[in-house]
Chains A and B, each alone.
Chain A
Amino acid sequence: MAFANEMLMYDDNFPEIWGNVTDWIEKFNNLLSPFANRPNTRVVILCQKHTYSISMMYAARDLNIPYIPIDINSPVNRISAIIEQIDPFIVLYQKSEIDVAQLPLDNINVIWENNVVSFATVQPQSNLAHHPDLSFVLFTSGSTGIPKGVMTSRNNANCFVDWMISEFGITKQSRILSIAPLHFDLSVFDVFAAEKLKAGLFVPLVSMIVNPMYLADFIFNFKIDTLYATPTWYNLLLQYGKLRRHDFSLVKTVLIAGEALKTQTVEELHKYFPNAQFANLYGPTETNVCTFYKIDFQKPIKEKNGVVCIGKPCPYAALNTDADNILQVSGKSVMLGYWPAVQNLEWYSTGDVVEMDADGDYYFMERADRMIKRNGYRIEPAEIETAILYHPEVGHVAVTAKGKEDKMEITAHYTLKGTLQGEDLARFCLLHLPSYMVPDKFRQHEKLPLTSSGKTDYNALMNS
């Protein structure tokens, strides 16, 4: 059995179980084993990121049981929509964080629990079998208004993790920050690279994860040398982390992905992490990282309009562009498909319009559709619109977004069938959408502007 023995995991949520991660992987392995080798055994993980949930991922992976980490900070409606799609057989949940009685889970049978997590079987609604190569499913915002599950195989994840280790010289001595939530694809690197190398994995306190001062202290105090996060996260660290209070000369690797990266962010970070190698990594959840640009501070940073180049393809990825310059990706990291159907995609179309320079380096220019990136999360405006339309007083709604300083500002434009106050709609959104999807502004209109072809005129709304 491939247990992650000797792996060093420090979890600030449970500092008392330092070094006992192997015991927890074995515990979950024993709990899962009787249910392995069944075509519909899937584990939904309804927990924060900590020793227990990470150990469960390792155990499930070792037994070839797919796992599905769900953002438990999402509203119950959204979590329920994902659970209904996945139809799990096993659930690992955190009692203090979520009331499973509110979820569409039948015949919950708790097999084991401690004071943090509960391991339970539930009654599946169907005999829906998954693809035998499926390793995990990460749910992202869906353009139909319903979250969609990106199915990743073990081989998809391995080729990415192996390349990251080799390209950036990650070793057994590395001390990796584990900052990305489990439902976010950036976490594939820290969780699996650390386990593969038996390197150090350092998990911050969940309740302080949005506190840059705490994170700066955490990086310094635990001599963390490898960081992988979104530009938004690094910008918050720069703006509010009080980085001047520490010497970060031990940081060796600063990896950035998930959103367009501004040159200014890299230049500012380099002042505080002077000894680190920097790279801008690009790729949607469907392909994981498929291009990279290593920054050479001896030369000008390659950029267009202040946005850093996304570089050349990773060795496992082939790139192409269509007639509209939309980037297409092929290769070993491309997902199996969207849950539950395996699509055997030869080329995955990213929806990102790119340009390539004479050196063969790619630049992200814009989205070909309305998709928004905020805090590294992908947001389909249609999902916000669908949620708002559930409000009985709302007639029509259209969501627009524009970059404002370091924040993507989302505005919901709506018409009313009845009476409503702006704050009511904000509260309604908090009940139906993850907080990162909740619009910043709500603008009431008599009617929404239409184009000559009768469609909502989003450009007019952006400028209204």
Chain B
Amino acid sequence: MTKQEILDYVMQYVKDNFSEQVKNPAPDTKLLTSKLLDSINTLHMVSHMEEKFKFEAEAHEVSPDNLDTPDLIAGYIHRKLVG
């Protein structure tokens, strides 16, 4: 799966699940550091992505460095998948 395909999925996920918090998400919309998503929303998203893409997140990976924008999320998942 390409990073672009993952990004498309993440963008759709954000639109479907966080329409209340994020009105017009873009690949560079800051979700965490802008506080648009709270910690529980973030954990739920990570858990969903783990199940969808079949990888296991480690504690130190659940951070804005990997999850702040849809683009970063897609890059993180892609790195996990390609090892």
Contacts and interface: CB of A to CB of B under 8 A. Distances in A.
A435 B57 contact: no
Given A236-B40, A236-B43, A239-B43, A213 B35 contact: no
Interface in B3-25: 20-23
Contact of B43 (A212, A430, A435): A212
A240 B43 CA distance: 7
Contact of A213 (B20, B22, B59): B59
B59 A217 contact: yes
Given A213-B57, A214-B59, A430-B35, A240 B23 contact: no
22 contacts: A207-B63, A208-B60, A210-B39, A210-B43, A211-B39, A211-B62, A213-B62, A214-B59, A216-B59, A236-B40, A239-B47, A407-B40, A421-B23, A422-B20, A422-B23, A423-B21, A426-B21, A430-B35, A435-B35, A435-B38, A440-B20, A441-B20
B50 to A, nearest CB: 10
6 shortest interchain CB distances as A-B pairs = A210-B39, A213-B59, A214-B59, A423-B23, A240-B43, A211-B62
B58 interface: yes
A240 B46 CA distance: 9
A382 to B, nearest CB: 22
Contacts of A442: 20
A207 B60 CA distance: 10
Interface in A407-453: 407, 421-423, 426, 430, 435, 440-442
B60 A214 contact: yes
Contacts of B58: 213
| Chain A interface helix/strand/loop/mixed | helix
Contacts of B59: 208, 211, 213-214, 216-217
Interface string A210-239: 111110110000000000000000001001
Interface residues of A, number: 22
Contacts of B63: 207
A236 B47 CA distance: 12
Interface string B37-68: 01110010011000000000111101100000
Given A213-B57, A213-B59, A236-B40, 6 more contacts: A208-B60, A211-B59, A212-B43, A217-B59, A239-B43, A421-B23
Nearest to A424: B23
A211 B40 CA distance: 9
Name which of A210, A216, A240 has the most chain B CB atoms within 10 A of its CB.
Answer: A240
B19 to A, nearest CB: 9
A208 B60 CA distance: 8
A251 B40 CA distance: 25
A421 B19 CA distance: 13
A436 to B, nearest CB: 8
A414 to B, nearest CB: 14
Nearest to A426: B21
Contacts of A207: 63
A183 to B, nearest CB: 17
Nearest to A406: B40
Nearest to A208: B59
A210 B46 CA distance: 13
Contacts of A214: 59-60, 62
B48 to A, nearest CB: 11
A236 B40 CA distance: 8
Name which of B35, B46, B58, B63 has the most chain A CB atoms within 10 A of its CB.
Answer: B35
A61 B31 CA distance: 40
A239 B39 CA distance: 13
A421 to B, nearest CB: 7
A323 B8 CA distance: 59
Contacts of B43: 210-212, 236, 239-240
A22 to B, nearest CB: 31
Nearest to B24: A423
Contacts of A213: 57-59, 62
B4 to A, nearest CB: 27
Nearest to B36: A426
